[in-house]
Structure 1
Amino acid sequence: MYVEALGLFDKLMCYPYLKPDSYTYPSVLKACGGLCRVVLGQMVHTCLIKTGLMVDIVVRSYLVSMYAKCNSFEYAIQMFDEMPDKDVACWNTVISCYYQIRKFEEALRYFGMMRRYGFEPNSVTITTAILSCARLFDLERGREIHKELINSGFWLDSFVSSALVDMYGKCGHLEMAIEVFEQMPKKSIVAWNSMITGYGFKGDCFSCVQLFKRMYNEGIKPTLTTLSSILMACSRSVQLLEGKYLY
């Protein structure tokens, strides 16, 4: 209820004997980010500087997140770099920022820095790092991250598994993509699409359609990505009948 939260904050600012504190501002910043109110967020940022609350790591973390959610990635990264102390949430935010502005090498560099500084990556961090490898077609680094996850006993949730399927598929290593995909207890639509797209890159129309049929039988509703990937595969392999099957 972001609008209501900001309305209450506005009323609070009218009280002469009450002042917002380090518990107030994180919620206000979250509301600004949720509504993409970057101008208001900048005004709150100014208040934090004047009141000396910028020293609070939680407040700073929410400030970084607010700028990121408002697509002000340069401010988010600048805020992060200026923080003397950082938490996992901040690292995740800045890595995600670099991924969203398509600076995948930087995303992976910060991922490496995070681990060197002793922070334990979580599912969000690892998913973004693997997706960055996929966008760079960097199979070697992607496999290295996967190997480390297995050796550490990290639980591969649907997000991490889907990212691995996507990475192996885009890098042309379909055997590993299938292995990860089949081990998923609950396959997300992202994982299905990644597998179909992987076969599509190779022009394997038959496997695309077989996966599509299996997907349909398991009650998974296809998306536009699913259909466009299969049609592209049919086009590449000149399979008119398979393409008509979709129609």
Structure 2
Amino acid sequence: MIDMYAKCSNMDSAEKVFDEMPERNLVSWNAMIVGFSHNKIFDRAIDVFKEVLRDKSVSPDQVSFSSVLSACANVGSLDFGRQVHGVVVKHGLMHLAYVKNSLVDMYNKCGCFQDSIQLFGSIPDRDVVTWNVMAMGCVQNDRFEEACNYFWVMRREGISPDEASFSTALHASANLAALDQGTLIHDQIIKTGYMKNTCVGSSLITMYAKCGSLIDAHRVFEEIEDRNVVCWTAMIAACQQHGCGGSVIELFEEMLAEGIKPDYITFVCVLSACSHTGRVEEGFGYFESMGRVHGMKPGPEHYACMVDMLGRSGRLDEAKRFIESMPIRPDPSVWGALLGACRNYGYLDMGKEVAEKLFEMEPNNPGNYVLLSNIYTHYGKLEEAKEIRRLMGINGARKEPGCSWIDIKNTTHVFTVHDKSHSRTDEIYEMLSKMIELVKKKGYVAETQFAVNDVESYKEQSLWYHSEKLALAFGLLSLPAGAPIRIKKNLRTCGDCHTVMKLASEIFEREIVVRDINRFHRFVSGSCSCGDYW
């Protein structure tokens, strides 16, 4: 009965049954710990485990330990997790794979990556679950290369990967934008017969999309027979990231026609696509259908998309009224969308008001300071802009240095602004000079508002040393004629670089794909997939 109530998400009734039991054994206690943990009431799961330790008539087993370690992992309770580790040793249960895997997972999720590595290394008979937990820990700690390495070492040790192994390795490859790595994993998936697995198929779609190959992502999508909402959403998200708003809407309508119920993420992608393609009325229609048709409450991400949609179309006053009418408290993503619109349209007074709210909500986010500083700069208020930059330093908000990278023959080449560390620096800067000459013949005029240098005479020159332009020059030098050039950047690409990429794609007759922090830009024949609306 306890288990039934727990699985029906009614822990009040489960607890009532437990309290009325005249006698309890370990199974009863475990049912409560597992029930609270599965219902994400992790603090109560930990409390019940403590009661088990105080009850001398029972002794915790691997179910007790694994469940409480999972609860510790989910609330980040490292101190108690370490205590549980000690109790496990005391009870002589360290030899049980179930317990060891839970300990590795707990240390990973609590940010103690070195402890998890040490524990993993001490396990002699590692099974596929142990390897998966370690690889997932690498991904959770942004160690994507290590996650891929664990996958290949596991294969060399003769352990057959399962769907979790493949999905984790593909997720790591996607975050690295490592297309070669992803295609090698794809080969393994085909050889082991996992292509019919929808979870693996969805991960493949995401990997190809994040590595800049929308064609391959669509090919995988077409090969999946029994597509569920995760597969559809992965493909919809891929099109949205690549700026194909029309394809997003077509896929979404096709999914609905097949009777697939959209989920939370599906609507985030659809509303974002409407925002980036200026489909305001259509976006409002989909937003209203969430509750009216699908019985779903919009969350912060959906509201942020709506504010972004109104802001991008220049309807900033309407966007502000929309925020004020929201039934939930606006979070930083909502106000951040409005601040971005204020920067785009030069709304100084509203920008100051919104930025003040964001400074209170997230004082350590450098992006908010930069946006307000840019608005001041737009109006020529350079002293006020400098003051905001000083405030950013006082609050300890550091802007991440911009960098771009490009893969050539299995080697990643990283560039920063004004970079002169590369072995082919002279050739790169020579190619830049050639590019300047060619794009000016096409009518290029430097967009100096994107230069951070205060000295006007140096602004245009400094624009040409942005990291993505250096990566482009190196790609033109290193890749065969006609081969696509794929560049990754850790920040949003600036408007001047966007213009140069468009012109370069036409001049050099190349497909240029730039993945910045927000989306993909695919430049072909002088135009971009985003339609200059990003």
TM superposition score normalised by structure 2: 0.40
Please say if 1:6 is aligned against 2:39: no
**Given that residues 109 and 137 in structure 2 are in contact (C-alpha distance below 8 angstroms), is that contact kept between their aligned partners in structure 1?**
no
Counterpart in the other structure of 1:139: 179
SS of 1:166's equivalent?
Answer: helix
Mark the CA change 1:30 to 1:157 in structure 2 (over 3 Å): closer, same or farther.
same
CA deviation map 1:72-117 (0-9, x unaligned): 4443333112323322111111100111111110100111111111
**For 2:48 and 2:66, how far apart are their aligned partners in 1?**
10
- 1:76 pairs, out of 95, 111, 116, with 116
Structure 2 matches for 1:90-129, cutoff 5 A? 90-129=130-169
**Given that residues 171 and 207 in structure 2 are in contact (C-alpha distance below 8 angstroms), is that contact kept between their aligned partners in structure 1?**
yes
Counterpart in the other structure of 2:242: 202
The Cα of 1:51 is off from its aligned counterpart by 4.7
The Cα of 1:147 is off from its aligned counterpart by 1.8
Counterpart in the other structure of 1:41: 81
Counterpart in the other structure of 1:179: 219
SS of 1:54's equivalent?
Answer: coil
Q: Which amino acid aligns with 1:181?
A: F
**Given that residues 148 and 172 in structure 2 are in contact (C-alpha distance below 8 angstroms), is that contact kept between their aligned partners in structure 1?**
yes
Counterpart in the other structure of 2:282: 245
Q: Which amino acid aligns with 2:229?
A: I
**For 2:101 and 2:240, how far apart are their aligned partners in 1?**
41
Q: Which amino acid aligns with 2:178?
A: D
Going by fraction, where is helix more abundant, 1 or 2? Answer: 1
**For 2:116 and 2:196, how far apart are their aligned partners in 1?**
29
Q: Which amino acid aligns with 1:97?
A: G
The Cα of 1:70 is off from its aligned counterpart by 4.8
Which range is displaced more, 134-143 or 199-208? Answer: 199-208
Counterpart in the other structure of 1:150: 190
SS of 2:227's equivalent?
Answer: coil
**For 2:97 and 2:254, how far apart are their aligned partners in 1?**
48
**For 1:31 and 1:52, how far apart are their aligned partners in 2?**
17
Counterpart in the other structure of 1:29: 66
Counterpart in the other structure of 2:331: none
Mark the CA change 1:225 to 1:61 in structure 2 (over 3 Å): closer, same or farther.
same
Runs of at least 5 residues in structure 1 that lack an aligned partner in the other structure: 235-239
**For 1:233 and 1:191, how far apart are their aligned partners in 2?**
22
The Cα of 1:200 is off from its aligned counterpart by 2.8
**For 2:114 and 2:258, how far apart are their aligned partners in 1?**
43
Mark the CA change 1:64 to 1:222 in structure 2 (over 3 Å): closer, same or farther.
closer
Mark the CA change 1:59 to 1:179 in structure 2 (over 3 Å): closer, same or farther.
same
**For 1:231 and 1:88, how far apart are their aligned partners in 2?**
42
Counterpart in the other structure of 1:217: 257
**Given that residues 172 and 198 in structure 1 are in contact (C-alpha distance below 8 angstroms), is that contact kept between their aligned partners in structure 2?**
no
Which range is displaced more, 37-46 or 66-75? Answer: 66-75
**Given that residues 162 and 188 in structure 1 are in contact (C-alpha distance below 8 angstroms), is that contact kept between their aligned partners in structure 2?**
no
**Given that residues 171 and 203 in structure 2 are in contact (C-alpha distance below 8 angstroms), is that contact kept between their aligned partners in structure 1?**
yes
**Given that residues 138 and 171 in structure 1 are in contact (C-alpha distance below 8 angstroms), is that contact kept between their aligned partners in structure 2?**
yes
Runs of at least 5 residues in structure 2 that lack an aligned partner in the other structure: 1-31, 34-44, 285-534
CA deviation map 1:34-70 (0-9, x unaligned): 3545433322211333454434444322322333455
Q: Which amino acid aligns with 1:210?
A: E
**Given that residues 133 and 142 in structure 1 are in contact (C-alpha distance below 8 angstroms), is that contact kept between their aligned partners in structure 2?**
yes
**Given that residues 136 and 168 in structure 2 are in contact (C-alpha distance below 8 angstroms), is that contact kept between their aligned partners in structure 1?**
yes
**For 2:129 and 2:234, how far apart are their aligned partners in 1?**
27
| Matched-pair identity in % | 31
Higher relative contact order (CA 8 A, sep 6+): 1
**Given that residues 142 and 167 in structure 1 are in contact (C-alpha distance below 8 angstroms), is that contact kept between their aligned partners in structure 2?**
yes
The Cα of 1:7 is off from its aligned counterpart by 5.6
**For 2:147 and 2:242, how far apart are their aligned partners in 1?**
28
**For 1:174 and 1:144, how far apart are their aligned partners in 2?**
17
Counterpart in the other structure of 1:230: 273
- Find the structure with the greater CA-based Rg: 2
Which range is displaced more, 97-106 or 179-188? Answer: 179-188
Mark the CA change 1:78 to 1:173 in structure 2 (over 3 Å): closer, same or farther.
same
Q: Which amino acid aligns with 2:68?
A: A
Mark the CA change 1:233 to 1:165 in structure 2 (over 3 Å): closer, same or farther.
farther
The Cα of 1:138 is off from its aligned counterpart by 1.2
**For 1:7 and 1:79, how far apart are their aligned partners in 2?**
24
SS of 1:27's equivalent?
Answer: helix
**For 1:203 and 1:68, how far apart are their aligned partners in 2?**
35
**Given that residues 274 and 282 in structure 2 are in contact (C-alpha distance below 8 angstroms), is that contact kept between their aligned partners in structure 1?**
no
Mark the CA change 1:194 to 1:178 in structure 2 (over 3 Å): closer, same or farther.
same
**For 2:212 and 2:117, how far apart are their aligned partners in 1?**
33
**For 1:170 and 1:231, how far apart are their aligned partners in 2?**
20
Going by fraction, where is strand more abundant, 1 or 2? Answer: 2
Counterpart in the other structure of 1:237: none
Mark the CA change 1:110 to 1:216 in structure 2 (over 3 Å): closer, same or farther.
same
**For 1:113 and 1:210, how far apart are their aligned partners in 2?**
42
